[in-house]
Homo-oligomer: A and B are copies of this chain.
Amino acid sequence: MGKKKDKHSREDEKDLDATRRASRDDVDEKTAKKTEGKSGKKAEKKAHKKAEKKLEKQREKAKKALANLVEAADPVDGAPESVDEAVEQVLATNAHAVVADVADSVASTFVGALRVGPDVRLADIDPSSTPGFTGDRDDAEALMAAAAPEIAELQERLYAESRDGEGRSVLLVVQGLDTAGKGGIMRHVVGLLDPQGVAIHAFKQPTAEERRRPFLWRIRRALPEPGMIGVFDRSHYEDVLVARVDNLVPASTWRRRYGQIRTFENSLTASGTTLVKVMLHIGKEEQGERLAERLARPDKHWKFNPGDIDTRRKWEAYEEAYDEALAKTSTDEAPWYVVPANHKWYARLAVQQLLLDALRRLDPQWPAATFDVEEQKARLADS
């Protein structure tokens, strides 16, 4: 794989699974590369020293990270009461174990920090900011790794609950301009879930048939089954965004859609689907750099479309369209969260935590047995 790695793009490197990044294998792997070829004993000593140094650095990072986390989080059982206590714990043990406890209280922080209301204006939200979180990339990835097992159990409970074909579901709606990082959310947040309980739908330009139907027709057909976590990569919101900016329909039509969307989403939540609506908010400069990278690298050309630049040229029009869409459809039943996305690591952590918070509020339970357990044990015994 060594050779393969070289071919890897910077982004691929950045995109290594959060849990792997958070792991110290990374360190050793890098150390290993550097020391390859050197004579065994000497290189071993050297590799060891480096690992030592790195461990120290990690402790320092963890110390800082926890100070920040404890600041941000409301105190909960198991979480350190004070920065000092947290730091003590870090030094006494290691980052992960403590971060795991603190993590319990972080999700709700993101909900509070990212939810938007009728007065939202994207121009006023710094796409490089990290609301509710003062840690760095490593802290974010440690937190994501720490949250994964809880999310996994909640997802399995949700799935189990609807074994009989009836039950609740979650729908994660991901919106954002080109290069905002929707794909990264799929890979690194949705990718941490059990794929058996996930259904991703990417909505491209509507087909001829879809255009003949009401705009919600193709959306309804893609809704998650009971027990599932549905994920929309773009969604019915394109019908009040690109449809508006490019005048694909008369103004009277897209204006009517805000109300139709509210009604539709209310009926969804009423029938047991929890919506988590996320807008990945990047800056124009950052998008410029990301598009430039796609043009600079042959292994990224397939992701580029000349139309992306046409869209980019309508930046303000899209911002305006987003502002109105967010303002008119961020309801108590289905609120919008604007996630600053210039830092991919922040956006991924934020979306994971919003999903975690939604699952916690659902609090799914293992269903009771639909059979006589003792009777079945007896049957199994003589089978």
Query: Which positions in A face B, CB cutoff 8 Å?
Result: 1-5, 7-8, 12, 16-17, 19-20, 22-25, 28-29, 31-33, 35-36, 38-41, 43-44, 47, 77-78, 88-89, 91-94, 96-98, 100-101, 103-104, 145-150, 152-153, 160, 163, 183, 186-187, 190-196, 198, 200, 202, 233, 288, 291-292, 295, 298-299, 301-304, 306, 309, 312-313, 366-369, 371, 373, 376-377, 379-380, 383
Contacts and interface: CB of A to CB of B under 8 A. Distances in A.
Contact of A191 (B91, B97, B186, B195): B195
Contacts of A302: 160, 163, 366-367, 369
Contacts of A298: 366, 368-369
Contacts of A146: 1
A35 B195 CA distance: 35
Contacts of A187: 194-196
Nearest to A89: B36
A44 B91 contact: yes
Contacts of A186: 194-196
Contacts of A369: 298, 301-302, 304
A32 B160 contact: no
A117 to B, nearest CB: 32
Task: Specify how many copies of this chain sit in the oligomer.
Answer: 2
Contact of A368 (B12, B193, B301, B309): B301
A380 B376 CA distance: 67
A40 B90 CA distance: 8
A262 B1 CA distance: 36
A38 B92 CA distance: 7
A380 B291 contact: yes
Q: Which of A8, A97, A163 has the most CB of B within 10 A?
A: A97
A383 B313 contact: yes
Contact of A198 (B2, B148, B195, B373): B195
Contact of A97 (B33, B153, B198): B33
Contacts of A194: 186-187, 191
Q: Which of A1, A5, A32, A38 has the most CB of B within 10 A?
A: A1
A22 to B, nearest CB: 7
B196 A202 contact: yes
Contacts of A291: 380
Contacts of A33: 93, 97
Given A33-B97, A148-B17, A366-B298, A379 B309 contact: yes
B78 A2 contact: yes
A98 to B, nearest CB: 8
Given A4-B149, A92-B38, A186-B196, A97 B43 contact: no
Contacts of A145: 20, 25
Contacts of A93: 28, 31-33, 35-36, 43-44, 47
A377 B40 contact: no
Given A183-B196, A186-B194, A295-B373, 13 more contacts: A1-B150, A16-B149, A25-B94, A32-B96, A43-B93, A187-B196, A288-B383, A298-B369, A304-B369, A306-B376, A309-B379, A312-B380, A313-B383
